[in-house]
């Protein structure tokens, strides 16, 4: 089975650094629903390089632009085929402008996809688009949106010089030049069935090595230039007699002018559309840039306000800190004063204690009133008398004899 166009567009619209993950997810989805063949085909898809991805973006997101490119390519091929040099020069200018607008659009699409536009290979994109103008097969690959590598082509543009021309052979009569329309009647023979010598390969100087010669219906005088070229008369227009040849030339000229005018009009329309698209893209870029600028300005104002608020809070906290520092200084001074007072009090107390000890008195370390130990009560008067006698004896007085001893 073939993969769906939506899946291919979705995968090849992914940036190269996200292509593999998107492809693996698609493979897993296909396997989950039992689509083995689809999973195999999806897994075989190759990742494009970034230049090819940019071209694929144009094919996927803006196919109308590539349609204009294809139309311009057709006009350029027609002008080259008919050797209309003036038209080719004008169309070449249109080509440059159109390719430049396509490259700018590819850059815009890449930015919208989230890819940095600083180092995009836009020169390779331009070469690929120019090659699509020159080669229909390359153009088909570009329009498919599945390009894997950028391409380049250097063979398109102005008619290359020197131009190829027919050269008469010096040793024979000049046979009539082959008419492409006679190929159906038999290759290598003229209208009367006479054989004609085949033209040899073309040399680098543009001459035919086989020595093909032109004939004017029989032998006749050569051109006086001495170059050996036969004098060739322009063919009359179909259906025009010899005597009406000037009128035939007028008809041909009119048709050629009409074709030129139509080609110029189409080229002008394509260029105008390209310029309009470029102007719209530039306008979108400007609007996005202005929106980003407004957002940045708002963020800047908010940051400035936050800085001002923080500055006010820092100033208030600094004032509180200064006040706290002053309070610490005051309390430190008070502590030192108290320390000095305590030291002086300790010295005075030491002096007083020393003086008291020197006087022999016991220092009173209690309350202001002296402590008096209460006497123990006696049970009777005899005990009190005995205690008194013992007291006198202890103090050294004579003891009295008790009566009846």
Strand, coil or helix: 3: coil
Q: Do 192 and 136 sit in the same domain of this protein?
A: no
Q: Do 181 and 135 sit in the same domain of this protein?
A: no
For 321-354, write each residue's pLDDT tens digit: 998 998 999 999 999 999 999 999 999 999 999 9
- In total, the chain counts a number of residues equal to 405
Cβ proximity of 222 and 228 under 8 Å:
yes
Q: Is residue 257 part of a domain?
A: no
Please give the pLDDT value at position 11: 92
Which of 213, 243, 270 is at the close of a domain? 213
Which of 31-45, 49-63, 292-306, 379-393 is predicted with the least confidence, judged by mean pLDDT?
A: 379-393
Please give the pLDDT value at position 253: 67
Q: What percent of the chain has pLDDT over 70?
A: 63
Closest CA to 48 of 26, 23, 15: 15
Q: Is residue 360 part of a domain?
A: no
Please give the pLDDT value at position 45: 92
Cβ proximity of 267 and 72 under 8 Å:
yes
State CA 290 to chain mean position distance.
19
Report the alpha-carbon distance of residue 122 to residue 100 in Å, rounded.
10
Report the alpha-carbon distance of residue 177 to residue 197 in Å, rounded.
10
Beta bridge partners of 195: 189
User: 4 phi and psi, to 5 degrees?
Assistant: -70, 150
**Bigger pLDDT: 189 or 341?**
341
Rounded average pLDDT over 164-172? 41
Rounded average pLDDT over 166-186? 40
Q: Is residue 107 part of a domain?
A: yes
Please tell me the total count of domains within the chain: 2
User: 189 phi and psi, to 5 degrees?
Assistant: -135, 150
Q: Is residue 298 part of a domain?
A: no
For 109-156, write each residue's pLDDT tens digit: 999 989 988 889 999 999 999 888 888 888 888 988 889 999 887 654
Please give the pLDDT value at position 5: 84
Q: Do 110 and 171 sit in the same domain of this protein?
A: no
**Bigger pLDDT: 363 or 128?**
128
For the cut 80, the answer to whether the pLDDT of residue 362 exceeds it is no
For 382-405, write each residue's pLDDT tens digit: 555 555 555 554 454 554 444 443
- How high is the mean pLDDT of the chain? 72
Please give the pLDDT value at position 104: 92
Interior/surface letters 237-274, b for 16+ CB within 10 angstroms, e for the rest: beebeeeeeeebeeebeeeeeebbeebbebbeebbeeb
For 77-101, write each residue's pLDDT tens digit: 888 787 877 877 888 888 888 899 9
What range does the domain containing 176 cover?
A: 167-213
Q: What is the CA radius of gyration of the chain?
A: 59
Give the predicted TM-score (pTM) of the model: 0.40
């Amino acid at each position: 089975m073939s993969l769906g166009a939506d899946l291919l567009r979705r995968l090849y619209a992914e940036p190269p650094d996200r292509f593999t993950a998107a492809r693996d997810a698609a493979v897993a989805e296909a396997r989950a629903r039992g689509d083995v063949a689809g999973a195999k085909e999806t897994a075989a898809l190759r990742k494009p390089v970034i230049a090819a991805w940019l071209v694929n973006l144009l094919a996927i997101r803006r196919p109308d632009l590539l349609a204009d490119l294809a139309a311009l390519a057709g006009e350029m091929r027609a002008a080259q085929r008919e050797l209309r040099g003036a038209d080719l020069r004008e169309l070449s200018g249109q080509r440059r402008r159109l390719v430049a607008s396509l490259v700018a659009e590819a850059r815009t699409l890449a930015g919208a996809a989230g890819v940095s536009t600083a180092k995009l290979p836009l020169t390779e994109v331009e070469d690929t688009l120019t090659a699509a103008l020159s080669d229909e097969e390359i153009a088909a690959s570009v329009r498919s949106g599945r390009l894997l590598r950028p391409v380049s082509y250097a063979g398109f543009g102005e008619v290359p010089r020197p131009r190829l021309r027919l050269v008469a052979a010096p040793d024979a009569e000049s046979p009539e030049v082959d008419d492409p329309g006679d190929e159906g009647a038999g290759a290598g023979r003229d209208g009367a069935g006479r054989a004609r010598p085949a033209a040899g390969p073309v040399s680098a100087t543009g001459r035919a090595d086989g020595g093909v010669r032109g004939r004017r219906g029989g032998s006749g005088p050569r051109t006086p230039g001495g170059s050996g070229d036969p004098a060739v008369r322009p063919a009359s227009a179909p259906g025009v007699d010899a005597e009406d040849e000037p009128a035939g030339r007028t008809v041909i000229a009119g048709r050629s002018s009409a074709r030129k005018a139509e080609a110029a009009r189409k080229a002008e329309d394509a260029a105008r559309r390209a310029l309009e698209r470029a102007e719209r893209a530039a306008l979108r870029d400007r609007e996005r840039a202005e929106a980003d600028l407004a957002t940045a300005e708002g963020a800047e104002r908010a940051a400035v306000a936050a800085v001002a608020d923080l500055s006010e809070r820092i100033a208030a906290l600094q004032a509180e800190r200064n006040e706290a520092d002053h309070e610490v200084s005051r309390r430190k001074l008070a502590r030192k004063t108290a320390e000095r007072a305590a030291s002086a009090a300790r010295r005075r107390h030491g002096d007083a204690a020393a003086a008291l000890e020197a006087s022999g008195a016991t220092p009173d370390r209690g309350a202001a009133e002296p402590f008096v130990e209460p006497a123990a009560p006696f049970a009777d008067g005899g005990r009190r008398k005995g205690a008194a006698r013992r007291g006198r004896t202890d103090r050294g007085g004579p003891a009295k004899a008790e009566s009846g001893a």
